[in-house]
Amino acid sequence: MKLTLRRRQILWAYAFLAVSLIFFVVIRWYPTLLAFNISFRDWNVFQNNGPWVGLQNYQDIWSDLFKQRSAVRAAFFNTLRYVIIGVPIQLALGLMIAMMLNSIGRAAGFFRAAYFIPYVTSLVAVAFVWNWLYAPQTGLINQLLLALGLPMQGFTKSPQQALYSITAVAIWASLGFTVIIFLAGLQQIPDVYYEAAQIDGAGRWPIFWRITLPLLNPVIVYLSVLQTIGFLRMFDLVRNMSDQGQGGPLNSTTTVVLEVYKEGFGSYNMGYAAALTVLLFFVILIITIFQLRVLQRRVEY
Amino acid sequence: MTTSAESNAERLLRISEQVAAKPPRRRTRFSWLTALIYLLLSLGAVVMIAPFVWMILTSFKPGAELIDFAFLPRNPTLDNYRLVLTTSSFGRWYFNSLFIATVSTLSVAFFDSLVGYTFNKFEFPGKTLIFLGILATLMIPTEMLIIPWYNMSVQLGWHQGNMQYWGIVFPGVITAVGIFLMRQFFDSVPNELLDAARIDGMHEFGIFWRIAMPLVRPAVAALCIFNFIGNWNAYLWPLIIASSREFYTLPVGLSFFRGESTTQWEKIMTGASLATIPLLIVFILFQRQIIKGIALTGLKG
């Protein structure tokens, strides 16, 4: 049988796609549906096909949200706090540093590398280095405070300070990425805009508000969405910076993903854990759709 | 802002090259503002680098020196390294991390390119549907898939023995991000070139492998760097699926290492140094390529 050229091309295309198609169906789509399925069951990995319990897991989450001492309640509120504190500070610092880097010539390459280093290192190692810096009594930061005559702090050991101490490390660790993306955005703003503004006698401040910020708008939206999703998924740092990795002290640092891990792989309460991940999925979905909507209104210039 | 002659892929490549390039040596006259910027950037750089310096210095100190708070070790010693390397399985964890990151990166480089190429250069029924099906998986957070993946792995025995390597690797052997990125980059390969090869009687796979692939090398390199770093540092999934010590990756091994030497900071910092230093060296050597790669994959949209 003779195949036409077009037929042959189609066969080649399917052959090229075959392995990947199987991968996406078996490793992505099927598990996604399975996650929904498990969230409606009383599931334990070692006794497959746990009984169907309908919305029970979701009802449990809902009632846990109103229990004062529940770790899941703490996890929801903490995660919200990580996002609300972490994202704005991360973006503001990132933009400031990127603008400073963009305005200097000498040593800009060195500074760029310095800010980027933590981004390529493992968050587990980062967590331990900061545990040591934060250590009560013997840690470097408390020793500096002591030398300056200031009171020592508990940092990750204090229920009031732990969340902020971990947020600071999270910002520190991914600042380099934010700086690089902002830097790319700044370099895309044509010089003529600045030159024209200077000829018009505009000061630095109006130039920043009227030119830089509006033209960076797509980058700002993109980064805030990316960072929001990043903080919503906080796990590595909390797991390695809180006592015994349980999100303490007094549940003050635990996150939704840490609770997924504890419920699903500590207590093997997998139906409940799956229900938590389904909720996380919907939150991320809404944020992503929001981003797509906003970014479609492209700034034209 | 994009000129019509420039494709999206070319624009991305230009931006990321620009952001990672050696900054121009601008001759700036001295001003107080520039001085202030340098001061702030230097302070920031100290905050970024000092934790790593402190980590390395601590690793060379005998345990008794930790409470002296001297900056440099008074009696520098390699005992911590000797002890950590002989009593833990760091060597094995290095191998595991290297092996897993290499295998997944090679697989991603091959399959993501092949699929990206197919979507760019072929017409076939169901093309849009399949592409959207792959793209949509970007919205599914890994956290939602870990419970189903774990269930599948337990059923198939991927959480035991040598199969643990496959268990750790399988979720990342093909990525939607990479496919999306590569699809854009094959725009820069002219169709006439491929047709010429077809007329010469080359088969389709040869055209992809020997003609198209060499032309998108910068994009493949960026994808490899991004993927390697991500897999090298991956924590949540390896933590769940690797059940025996010999199959831990570096971050997982390190996180359990803490429990074994709770307050012996010099040992913990030695472990953290062992986990970070190779990556720091690689980063210093290939700084520009790495920043370019991260910028490129980060900007993809």
Residue B250: give its domain's CATH number: 1.10.3720.10
Residue of B40, B144, B279 lying closest to A281 (CB–CB): B144
Does the distance separating the beta carbons of A273 and B233 come in below 8 Å? no
Out of A79-83, A124-128, A291-295, B204-208, least confident range: A291-295
Integer-rounded Cα radius of gyration of chain A: 24
Distance from CA of A67 to the nearest CA of B (A): 25
- Closest by CA to B174, choosing from B119, B109, B241, is B109
Alpha-carbon separation of residue A277 from A12, A58, A259, B145, B169 (angstroms): 38, 11, 10, 8, 22
pLDDT number for residue A192 = 84
pLDDT score of B27 more than 90:
no
Share of chain B above pLDDT 70, in %: 92
Residues B139, B282 within the same domain: yes
Residues B287 and B143 in one domain: yes
pLDDT tops 50 at residue A131 = yes
Same domain (yes/no): B86, B72: no
Q: How many CA atoms lie within 13 A of B175 on its CB side?
A: 22
State how far the Cα of A5 lies from the Cα of A13, in Å rounded to an integer.
12
Whether residue B215 lies inside any domain: the answer is yes
What is the average pLDDT across A125-133? Answer: 94
Q: Tell me the HSE value of A173 on the side-chain side, using a 13 A CA sphere.
A: 25
- Tell whether B154 is covered by a domain: yes
B72 and B92 both lie in a single domain: no
Say whether both B73 and B97 belong to one domain. no
| Residue in B124, B287, B290 nearest the CB of A14 | B124
Q: Is the ipTM of this complex over 0.85?
A: yes
B156 and B189 housed in the same domain: yes
- For the four alpha carbons of B42, B43, B49 and B53, in that order, the dihedral sign comes to positive
User: pLDDT digit string (tens) for B215-273?
Assistant: 999 889 989 988 999 999 999 999 999 988 899 999 999 988 766 556 688 889 999 99
Model pLDDT for residues A255-269, shown as the tens digit of each residue: 999 999 999 998 888
B153 within a domain of the structure (yes/no): yes
Residue B26 lies in a domain: no
Report the DSSP beta bridge partners of residue A44.
A47
- A55-59, B3-7, B139-143: range with lowest mean pLDDT: B3-7
In terms of domains, do B96 and B215 share one?
yes
**Are B18 and A187 spatial neighbours (Cβ–Cβ below 8 Å)?**
yes
Task: Using the predicted structure, report yes or no on whether residue B54 has a pLDDT greater than 60.
Answer: yes
Average pLDDT, chain B: 88
Residue at B145 is within a domain? yes
Mean pLDDT in residue range A194-206: 83
Which burial class, exposed, middle or buried, applies to A72 when counting CB atoms under 10 A from its CB (0-12, 13-18, 19+)?
buried
Question: A181 and B299: CB-CB below 8 Å?
Answer: yes
* Residue B6: pLDDT over 80: no
Query: Is the same domain home to B191 and B57?
Result: no
Q: Are residues B103 and B205 in the same domain?
A: yes
Task: Identify whether B1 is part of a domain.
Answer: no
Query: B213: how many CB neighbours lie within 10 A of its CB?
Result: 18
Model confidence at B18, pLDDT cuts 50, 70, 90, reads: confident
Identity of the amino acid at A132: W
Q: Please check the confidence at residue B151 and state whether its pLDDT lies above 70.
A: yes
**Statement: residue A301 has pLDDT above 80:** no
- Residue A101's alpha-carbon distances to A182, A183, B34, in angstroms, are 10, 8, 11
What confidence tier does A3 reach under pLDDT thresholds 50, 70, 90? Answer: low
C-alpha separations of A107 from A110, A114, B37, B45 in Å: 5, 11, 12, 12
Q: What's residue B76's pLDDT?
A: 86
Do B95 and B192 belong together in one domain? Answer: yes
Domain's final residue, options B26, B60, B77: B77
**Nearest chain A residue to B298, by CA:** A181
pLDDT band at residue A300 using 50, 70 and 90 as cut-offs: very low
Return d(Cα A83, Cα A184) in angstroms, integer.
24
Residue B119: how many other CB atoms lie within 10 Å: 23
Cβ contacts of B117 within 8 Å, gap of 6 or more: A16, B182, B183, B186, B208, B212
Domain presence at residue B204: yes
CB contact under 8 A, B134 and A24: yes
pLDDT > 70 fraction of chain A, expressed in percent and rounded: 95
Closest Cβ opposite residue A32 in set B69, B145, B176: B145
Shortest Cα distance, chain A CAs vs residue B75, angstroms: 19
Indicate if B67 and B105 belong to the same structural domain.
no
What whole-number distance in Å separates Cα of residue B248 and Cα of residue A75?
A: 28
The residue among B42, B77, B112 that closes a domain is B77
Q: Which residue of B has its CA nearest to A19?
A: B111
> How many angstroms separate the CA atoms of A102 and A205, rounded?
16
Shared domain check, B114 and B39 = no
pLDDT of B132 strictly over 50: yes
Number of domains present in the structure of chain B? 2
Dihedral of alpha carbons B216, B219, B222, B223, sign:
negative
> Which residues 152-211 on chain B approach chain A with CB closer than 8 angstroms?
152, 154-155, 170-171, 173-174, 176, 179, 204-205, 208
What tens digit of pLDDT does each residue of B276-299 get? 988 888 888 888 888 888 888 777
Size of the A and B interface in Cβ pairs below 8 Å = 275
Mean pLDDT, range B14-33, rounded to an integer: 74
pTM: 0.91
- Range of lowest pLDDT (A220-224, B173-177, B210-214, B286-290): B286-290
pLDDT at A247: 87
Chain B residues in contact with A301 by the CB 8 A cut-off are: 1
Structural domain boundaries, residue B73: 34-77
Mean of pLDDT over chain A: 90
* Residue of chain B nearest A35, judged by CA positions: B148
- Asked if B140 lies within 8 A of A32 by C-beta distance, the reply is yes
Contact assessment for residue B219 and residue B182, using Cβ atoms and an 8 Å cutoff: yes
Q: Which domains does chain A have, with CATH numbers?
A: 67-296 (1.10.3720.10)
| Residue where a domain terminates, one of B50, B77, B104 | B77
Predicted confidence band of residue B85 (pLDDT cuts 50, 70, 90): confident
Strand partners, A41: A52
For residue B28, what pLDDT band results from cuts at 50, 70 and 90? Answer: low
**Cβ contacts of B27 on chain A, cutoff 8 Å:** 105
Packing angle, helices A5-23 and B90-121, rounded to 10: 150
Residue B250 DSSP one-character state: H
Residues of A in contact with B72 (CB under 8 A): none
- Probe site for chain B from A128, A165, A216 (most B CB atoms < 10 A): A128
